[in-house]
Amino acid sequence: MSSARPLSLITGASAGIGAAFARALAARGHDLVLTARRTERLEALAADMRQQHGSTVTVLTADLADPAATATLCDELARRGLAVDWLINNAGYGVPGTFVANAWQTHADSLQVLLTAPTELAWRLLPDMRQRGYGRIINVASLAGHVPGTAGHTLYAATKSYLIKFSQSLALENRDRDVHVCALCPGFTRSEFHDVTGTRALMDKLPGFMWQSAEDVVREGIDAVERGEAVLVTGRVNRFIKGLFKLMPDRLALRLSARQARRYRQQE
């Protein structure tokens, strides 16, 4: 490990799963680099982590939809002499509505944040992890990456499926260097995610047992990457859903997925 206190870089750290990762890793003795678009929220979280856990916290505001943001972020880390031990690729959001109902720039921004930025961050930070002989990368994917795609969810599930396969390959490539890579696949998680996409009213129709807290998701994710698991679906209900769809014929799985999605997805 590069220092007595590991350094964790967390994207999308201003709320939800990202903020929960910051709290959990600070409690484990990590120093933090927090990045997201909302500086005020990042600074408030940083102040809490300094006070509660004595963490050294660096706030680097960035919009990962900007194609130059990832390189700029890594250049700033290098300028400050910060070597990242844990990379938490968490930043992301959903684009509600059908594919053609949204402008191309909306989709391009989404792909940049959900697919290109985490891939590039891993590419830029992984060589130093390998050289030091220690690293942890958690790519926050989704249960959506394991089940059939649905109308009104066109790019989100596709990018999460990519993150799962990407994580599996990275895990195999780096296991001999004590660099663990895990795709963390939560289902419905209590956070601001559905407020941002405007689907909160639809999501509130889901039964309570379908939901997990961000803290539970993060705890499972940290344990999984430490064990060297390449993919983890969080929660018993989500693992049951994944297993059920895996056993179904593709045609039946797609039909069932489409029927359920009409109840909970904004499709126009």
Q: Where in the chain are the domains?
A: 7-264
Whether 2 and 179 have beta carbons less than 8 Å apart is answered as: no
DSSP alpha helices (H): ranges in the chain? 16-27, 39-53, 69-79, 104-111, 117-132, 156-174, 193-196, 200-203, 214-227, 236-247, 250-264
Q: Please name the amino acid found at residue 113.
A: V
- Average pLDDT on 169-196 reads 85
What local confidence, expressed as pLDDT, does residue 215 receive?
96
Q: Please give the full DSSP string across 200-253, using - where no structure is assigned.
A: HHHHTTS-GGGEEEHHHHHHHHHHHHHHT-SEEE-SHHHHHHHHHHHHS-HHHH
Model confidence band, residue 198 (pLDDT cutoffs 50, 70, 90): very low
Look at 235 and 108; give whichever has higher pLDDT. 108
Model confidence band, residue 266 (pLDDT cutoffs 50, 70, 90): low
59 token code pair: 């706030």
Query: Could you give the percent of the chain with pLDDT greater than 70?
Result: 88
By three-state DSSP, how is residue 31 classified? strand
Q: Please tell me the distance from the alpha carbon of residue 238 to that of residue 143, in angstroms, as a whole number.
A: 7
Q: Tell me the pLDDT tens digit for each residue of 109-160.
A: 999 999 999 999 999 999 999 999 999 999 999 999 999 888 888 999 999 9
Q: Tell me the pLDDT tens digit for each residue of 20-60.
A: 999 999 999 999 999 999 999 999 999 999 999 999 999 99
- Average pLDDT on 92-102 reads 92
By three-state DSSP, how is residue 10 classified? strand
Model confidence band, residue 200 (pLDDT cutoffs 50, 70, 90): very low
Please state the φ and ψ torsions of residue 179, each to the nearest 5 degrees: -110, 110
Judged against a pLDDT cut of 90, whether residue 208 lies above it is answered with no
Q: Please tell me the distance from the alpha carbon of residue 109 to that of residue 88, in angstroms, as a whole number.
A: 20
By three-state DSSP, how is residue 136 classified? strand
Please state the φ and ψ torsions of residue 98, each to the nearest 5 degrees: -70, 165
- Average pLDDT on 75-97 reads 96
What local confidence, expressed as pLDDT, does residue 258 receive?
75
Model confidence band, residue 210 (pLDDT cutoffs 50, 70, 90): low
Residue 134 falls in the annotated catalytic set? no
Report the predicted TM-score, pTM, of the whole model to 2 decimal places.
0.89
Q: Please tell me the distance from the alpha carbon of residue 192 to that of residue 214, in angstroms, as a whole number.
A: 11
- Average pLDDT on 221-241 reads 95
Judged against a pLDDT cut of 60, whether residue 267 lies above it is answered with no
Q: Please tell me the distance from the alpha carbon of residue 90 to that of residue 149, in angstroms, as a whole number.
A: 21
CATH fold group of domain 7-264: Rossmann fold (3.40.50)
What local confidence, expressed as pLDDT, does residue 197 receive?
46
Choosing from 93, 134, 156, 162, the catalytic residue is 156
Whether 122 and 89 have beta carbons less than 8 Å apart is answered as: yes
CB atoms within 10 A of CB 166: 19
180 pairs with which residues across the strands? Answer: 136
- Mean pLDDT of the chain, nearest integer: 90
What local confidence, expressed as pLDDT, does residue 259 receive?
74
Q: Please tell me the distance from the alpha carbon of residue 121 to that of residue 102, in angstroms, as a whole number.
A: 27
